[in-house]
Chain A
Amino acid sequence: MLNPDFVARCKQHRVILAVAFLLIFPLLMPFKAIAVNILIYGLYALGFNMLFGTLGLLSFGHAALFGGGAYACGLAMIRLGLPWWMGIVCAVVIGMALAAIIGAFAIRTRGIYFAMVTMALAQCVYFISDQWVSLTGGENGLRDVTLTKIDLGITTLNFVDPLTRYYVVAFFVAIALFVLSRILASPFGAAMEAVRENEARARACGYDVRATRYLAFILSGGFCGLAGALQALHLSIVPLETLAIANSGLVVMMSLLGGMGTFFGPFVGAGVFLLLENLVSLWTVHWQIFVGAAFVACVLFFPRGIWGTILLGRGR
Chain B
Amino acid sequence: METSKKAAVTRRTLLAASSLLAMPSIVRAQSADTIKIGFPVPLTGPYGTEAKDQVACAQIAIAEFNEAGGLNGRKAELLVRDDKLDPGEAATRTIELIEKDGANFICGSLSAAVQLAVNNVAKQRGVIYNSISQSDQIAALPDWSKTTFHEGMTPHLTAGAVGRYAFSKYGKKVVFLQADYAYGHEMVAGFKAVGEKMGIEVLADLRHPLGATDFSTLLPRIQSLKPDILVLVNFGRDQQISLKQATDFGLKKTTKIVAPVLLYTARQAAGEKAFEGVVGGTSYYWGIESTVPTAKAFNDRYRKANEGRVPSDYGALGYAGVRALLEGARRAGGTDTAKVIAALEGLKYDFYKGAQEIRACDHQAVQPVFIIESKAAGANPNDVFNVISTDAANADNLVSCKDEGHV
Instruction: Encode A4-26 as 1/0 by CB contact (under 8 A) with B.
Output: 01100100000000000000100
Q: Say if the beta carbon of A109 comes within 8 Å of chain B.
A: no
Chain B positions 42-76 with a Cβ under 8 Å from a chain A Cβ: 43-44, 48
The answer to whether the Cβ of B338 comes within 8 Å of any Cβ in the partner chain is no
Q: Is the CB of B113 within 8 A of A240?
A: yes
How distant is A112 from chain B, measured CB to nearest CB, in Å?
25
State in angstroms the CA–CA spacing of A29 and B26 once bound together.
11
Of B26, B88, B120, B142, most buried by chain A (CB within 10 Å of CB) is B88
A-contact bits for B129-164, CB 8 A (1 contact / 0 none): 000000001000011000000000000000000000
B113 A139 Cβ-Cβ under 8 A: yes
Taking the complex as formed, is B182 at the interface, i.e. its CB lies under 8 A from any CB of chain A?
yes
Question: In whole Å, how far is A149's beta carbon from the nearest beta carbon of chain B?
Answer: 12
- A241-B87 CB under 8 A given contacts A33-B96, A143-B143: yes
Interface bracket on A: 35 or more
A9 and B87 within 8 A (CB)? no
Asked whether B142 lies within 8 Å of A144 as measured between CB atoms, the reply is yes
B124→A146 contact, CB < 8 A:
yes
A34 with B92: CB separation less than 8 A? yes
Q: Which of A212-220, A254-262, A281-289 contacts B (4 or more CB under 8 A)?
A: A281-289
Interface residue B217 (Cβ < 8 Å from any Cβ of A):
no
**Which residues of B sit under 8 angstroms from A29, Cβ to Cβ?**
25
A118 at the interface (CB under 8 A from B): no
Question: Across the interface, which residues of A come within 8 angstroms of B26, CB to CB?
Answer: 27
Q: How far is the CB of B135 from the nearest CB of chain A, in Å?
A: 8
Q: Which residues of B contact A140 (CB under 8 A)?
A: 112-113, 116, 137, 182
Asked whether B22 is an interface residue with its Cβ less than 8 Å from the other chain, the reply is yes
Among B7, B92, B182, which residue has the most Cβ atoms of chain A within 10 A? B92
Q: Type the 1/0 row for B90-101, where 1 means its CB is closer than 8 Å to any CB of A.
A: 011001100110
Q: Does A235 contact B (CB under 8 A)?
A: yes
Given contacts A24-B15, A30-B25, A34-B96, contact A239 B7 (CB under 8 A): no
Assuming the contacts A3-B6, A34-B96, A160-B124, asked whether A287 and B88 have C-beta atoms less than 8 A apart, the reply is no
Q: Is A303's beta carbon under 8 Å from chain B?
A: no
* With known contacts A6-B3, A285-B48, A239–B124 Cβ distance under 8 A: no
Whether B86 is near chain A, meaning CB under 8 Å from some CB there, is: yes
Which of the residues A9, A162, A281 comes within 8 Å of B99, measured between beta carbons?
A162
How many Å lie between the Cα of A5 and that of B2 in the bound state? 11
Select one of A27, A37, A287 contacting B22, CB under 8 A. Answer: A27
B316-361 contacts to A (CB < 8 Å): none
Q: Which A residue sits closest to B125, measured CB to CB? A: A160
Within 8 Å of chain B (Cβ to Cβ): is A189? no
User: Are the CB atoms of B116 and A31 closer together than 8 Å?
Assistant: no
In angstroms, Cα B15 to Cα A200, docked, is 46
Q: Mark A167-195, 1 if CB is under 8 A from B, else 0.
A: 00000000000000000000000000000
Docked pose: A237 CA to B88 CA in angstroms? 8
A240 to B182, CA, bound (A): 12
Interface status of B117 (Cβ within 8 A of chain A): yes
- Among B7, B92, B116, B137, contact of A3 (Cβ-Cβ < 8 Å): B7
B25 closest partner in A (C-beta):
A30
Q: Give residues 271-291 of A contacting B (CB, 8 Å).
A: 281-282, 285, 287-288
State whether B7 touches A6 (Cβ < 8 A): yes
Please tell me if the beta carbons of A239 and B82 are within 8 angstroms of each other in the complex.
Answer: no
Query: In the complex the two chains form, what is the Cα distance from A30 to B81 in whole Å?
Result: 15
Residues of B within 8 A of A27 (CB): 18-19, 22, 25-26
A263 to B99, CA, bound (A): 32
CA–CA, A36 and B92, complex, Å? 10
Q: Which residue of A lies closest to B115 (CB)?
A: A140
For the complex, give the distance between the alpha carbons of A6 and B15 in Å: 16
Contact present for B181 and A236 (CB under 8 Å)? no
B91 touches A237 (CB 8 A): yes
A237 touches B44 (CB 8 A): no
Assess the A32–B99 pair: CB atoms within 8 A.
yes
Q: Does A28 contact B (CB under 8 A)?
A: yes
- Nearest residue, chain A, Cβ from B85: A241
Rounded to whole angstroms, the CA-CA distance of A241 and B143 in the bound complex is 19
B116 touches A143 (CB 8 A): yes
Which residues in A have some Cβ–Cβ distance to B below 8 Å? 2-3, 5-6, 9, 24, 27-34, 37, 138-141, 143-144, 146, 148, 160, 162, 231, 235-237, 239-242, 281-282, 285, 287-288
B residues sitting closer than 8 Å to A (CB atoms) are 3, 6-7, 10, 15, 18-19, 21-22, 25-26, 43-44, 48, 81-82, 84, 86-88, 91-92, 95-96, 99-100, 112-113, 116-117, 120-121, 124-125, 137, 142-143, 181-182
Interface CB pairs A-B, < 8 A, 24: A3-B6, A6-B6, A24-B18, A24-B19, A27-B19, A27-B25, A28-B18, A31-B96, A31-B100, A33-B99, A140-B116, A141-B87, A143-B116, A143-B120, A143-B143, A162-B95, A162-B99, A235-B91, A236-B121, A239-B91, A239-B117, A281-B44, A285-B44, A285-B48
Known: A24-B15, A31-B25, A143-B120. 16 other contacts (CB 8 A): A2-B10, A6-B3, A6-B10, A27-B18, A27-B19, A28-B21, A28-B22, A33-B96, A33-B99, A144-B142, A235-B88, A235-B117, A236-B120, A237-B120, A239-B86, A288-B44
Shortest beta-carbon contacts, A-B, top 9 = A239-B87, A31-B100, A27-B22, A33-B95, A235-B91, A139-B182, A6-B7, A285-B43, A239-B88
